[in-house]
Chain A
Amino acid sequence: MTNALRIQDLTVEYKTRRGVARAVDRIRLSLEENRTLGLAGESGCGKSTLGRAIMRLVPYPGQIADGNIYINIDEDIPCKEGDIPKGEVDITELNEEQMRVLRGKEIAYIFQDPMTSLNPMLTIGSHFVQMIRAHDPEIEKEEALDRGKEVLEGLGILPERVTDYPHQFSGGMRQRVMIGLGLVLRPRLLISDEPTTSLDVIVEAQILEQMAELKKKFNLTMILITHNLGVLAQTADDIAIMYCGRLVELASVENVFEAPQHPYAQALLLSVPDVTKPDKKLVWIPGAPPDLVDPIPGCMFNPRCPMAMDICKTQVPPLIESETGGLVACHLYGGK
């Protein structure tokens, strides 16, 4: 198995007036092909920033301060400003034009809010035409439109509706359009940032199911960013849990749900209600995450951790292999 994505020591910083905030702090992870990685954590932990960083679209005033992101490419991709060779490519080294060619073609991104992520001034068809022609200017408009229709049909949207404007669609349909736009060029990596959070439960289930089917059909490697652990339990193969910009645990779904290692992961799971265990006592995590502009030394979780030791307040725990086969960053397991 080859790695579709490999991230090394990625650091993203936001330069604010109050100081520099590290939203993503030396993240290291790799993702095998055809697998789905769930990225979980509470809001503000940097999971969306990490997703954006893979697209090199960190919102202002953030920027990638350090680290490398490698993605695996099947074939040479022609580009006006230097062709991109096949094999493992470090996208932090690419220029803007090369990066633009990769976006949409190799990596697709689906945004949280389908209501705002389509251009209100363009018809759905124009979205497809512009996207396809941005990557291959030689394709005729009609052909591009046909491809768009085909994709939409696959997602259960009538092809005639390509002449409609986004405001004429419901939220779930818009999200399908977004997925269609993401997949029309057959990318290998799909990053979805809370794709179903703003949809109601029934539509959410439909969309998740469709995404699973498409994943199989297109051989997609997926990163699913969400704070909803229930969604991850259904769809993900592996789960990575982030806290304050750092990766605290990475393991397979079963292991994370059965035997979470990191105290934060344990607390996170305890705070989720479970229908099968109605008498489960929900536990909330006391305190609030530390200020990212003024970070605390040692493990970021130490002020809230029930098992904090002295070493936790001075040294950042390294990411080590855990007993269950995953990775964990906690001094509790540093002994062996």
Chain B
Amino acid sequence: MTLRSYVTSRVLLMIPMVMLLLTLVFVILRIIPGDPALLHFEKGVDPVVLAEFRTRLGLDKPILEQYFDYLWGIFHGDFGISMQDYQPISTHLFGRFPATLELSIYSILFAVLLGLALGVKASKNYDTTTDHSIRLFSIVTYAIPVFFLGMVLQFIFSIWLGWLPTGRRFPGRYTPPPTITGLYTIDSILAGDLFSLVTSVTYLILPTITLGTILCGIFIRFTRTNMLETLRMDFVIAAQARGLSNGTVTYRYALRNAFLPILTMIGIQFAALLAGAILTETTFSWPGLGTYLVARISRRDYTAIQGTVVFFGVLVSMLTLFVDILYAYLDPRIRL
């Protein structure tokens, strides 16, 4: 199979998956509850107000028409109108997305680097105390709720010791760097603003460590298993028998071969990453998609919940697709 036909088939396969997902969310949030408008008001409401509310949100149309409007909207990047302020949800989503993106990128980087380092270390010291300690660490990180770890770190480093700031991305009394990408660290570098860079990094440290630590457990375990398998393969031993150095064998042979499955793992972890990001953002009041979602849950803003959930779904599908294509590009057995 050539790379091109692989990519085509992957994209074609993604379309029904995304469609299914969108339908699922629509069913869960529009059809099952019966009338989200009534749910929104919780207590009794004047029928006239209710009717107007429905008309403004388009909830008075037949359900099938609503469904196609919804699909058509998403296709155009329109995720509906909020029940709270009648604003398009996409404005909020696109405005807050860079914050989530920044946190996610650094967290996954932290998780992958720590995971690779510890995983390789564990596999090279197979069945020793080092190995067991690393494995235990990875199991413990799996069992900690991400927000609990966040709270503990927040308490120790910002409330108790006062070393690092917490809450939001940037102190309110300063202007953040001019928006180019929306990622404060990148924007400050582009603007050549050292102060902004340092400030945004100090705000990033705790959330990144929190989310990264929770995610790294799976990478440790996965790297370790894959390295152990690869280190036992004939070609690795054959490389040793040809007198290649230990470093070459570990990193250029074993790790490079073990890295492809790890790459797939990164793709699978995007879902966990975003789920963790919601909780981490809430813990640190990080103004991203997660805090938006949580705020809308407390306001019973069902259209906004639906829009955000769908946004997350589409985002994860695209990221997964991207990783799959990257995988195909990197593996010579697929790339022909």
Interface residues of A (CB under 8 A from B): 55, 57, 59-61, 96, 100-105, 108-109, 111-113, 116-121, 130-131, 134-135, 165, 167, 178, 181-182
Contact call A121/B257, Cβ cutoff below 8 A: yes
26 pairs, A vs B, C-beta closer than 8 Å: A55-B241, A59-B232, A59-B237, A60-B126, A60-B232, A96-B246, A104-B241, A109-B238, A113-B234, A116-B234, A117-B237, A117-B238, A118-B235, A119-B239, A119-B253, A120-B235, A120-B332, A121-B257, A130-B248, A134-B242, A134-B243, A134-B245, A165-B332, A165-B333, A167-B332, A181-B242
Q: Of all chain B residues, which has the CB nearest A116?
A: B234
- Restricting to B299-336, which residues have a CB under 8 Å from any CB of A? 331-333
Cα–Cα distance between A167 and B335 once the two chains are bound (Å):
12
Question: Which residues of chain B come closer than 8 Å to A105, judged between CB atoms?
Answer: 243
B39 interface contact, C-beta 8 A = no
Cα–Cα distance between A109 and B237 once the two chains are bound (Å):
10
**Chain B's interface: helix, strand, loop or mixed, by majority?**
helix
Question: Which residues of chain B come closer than 8 Å to A60, judged between CB atoms?
Answer: 126, 232
Question: Which residues of chain A come closer than 8 Å to B242, judged between CB atoms?
Answer: 103-104, 108-109, 131, 134, 181-182
Question: Which residues of chain A come closer than 8 Å to B237, judged between CB atoms?
Answer: 57, 59, 111, 117
Mask: chain B, 227-257; 1 = CB below 8 Å from A; 0 = not: 0000011111111111111101000110011
Contact call A120/B238, Cβ cutoff below 8 A: no
Top-7 shortest CB links A-B: A104-B243, A103-B243, A109-B241, A104-B242, A117-B234, A117-B238, A116-B234
Q: Of all chain A residues, which has the CB nearest B240?
A: A57
Most buried by A among B234, B238, B332: B238
Contact call A121/B256, Cβ cutoff below 8 A: yes
Q: A96-B246, A101-B243, A103-B243 are in contact. Are A118 and B332 (CB under 8 A)?
A: no
Question: Assuming A105-B243, A119-B253, what are 11 further A-B pairs, CB within 8 angstroms?
Answer: A57-B237, A61-B127, A104-B243, A104-B244, A109-B241, A111-B234, A119-B239, A121-B332, A130-B252, A134-B244, A134-B248
Cα–Cα distance between A105 and B241 once the two chains are bound (Å):
10
Q: A165-B332, A167-B333 are in contact. Are A135 and B243 (CB under 8 A)?
A: yes
Question: Which residues of chain A come closer than 8 Å to B234, judged between CB atoms?
Answer: 111-113, 116-117
Question: Which residues of chain A come closer than 8 Å to B243, judged between CB atoms?
Answer: 100-105, 131, 134-135
Q: How far is the CB of A108 from chain B (nearest CB, A)?
A: 7
Cα–Cα distance between A128 and B78 once the two chains are bound (Å):
56
- Restricting to B251-282, which residues have a CB under 8 Å from any CB of A? 252-253, 256-257
Question: Which residues of chain B come closer than 8 Å to A100, judged between CB atoms?
Answer: 240, 243-246
Q: How far is the CB of A110 from chain B (nearest CB, A)?
A: 8
Q: Of all chain A residues, which has the CB nearest B257?
A: A121
Question: Which residues of chain A come closer than 8 Å to B235, judged between CB atoms?
Answer: 116-120
Question: Which residues of chain B come closer than 8 Å to A113, judged between CB atoms?
Answer: 234
Contact call A130/B246, Cβ cutoff below 8 A: no
Question: Which residues of chain B come closer than 8 Å to A181, judged between CB atoms?
Answer: 242
Question: Which residues of chain A come closer than 8 Å to B252, judged between CB atoms?
Answer: 130
Q: A119-B257, A120-B257, A120-B333 are in contact. Are A111 and B238 (CB under 8 A)?
A: yes
Question: Which residues of chain A come closer than 8 Å to B241, judged between CB atoms?
Answer: 55, 57, 103-104, 108-109, 111
Cα–Cα distance between A165 and B238 once the two chains are bound (Å):
16
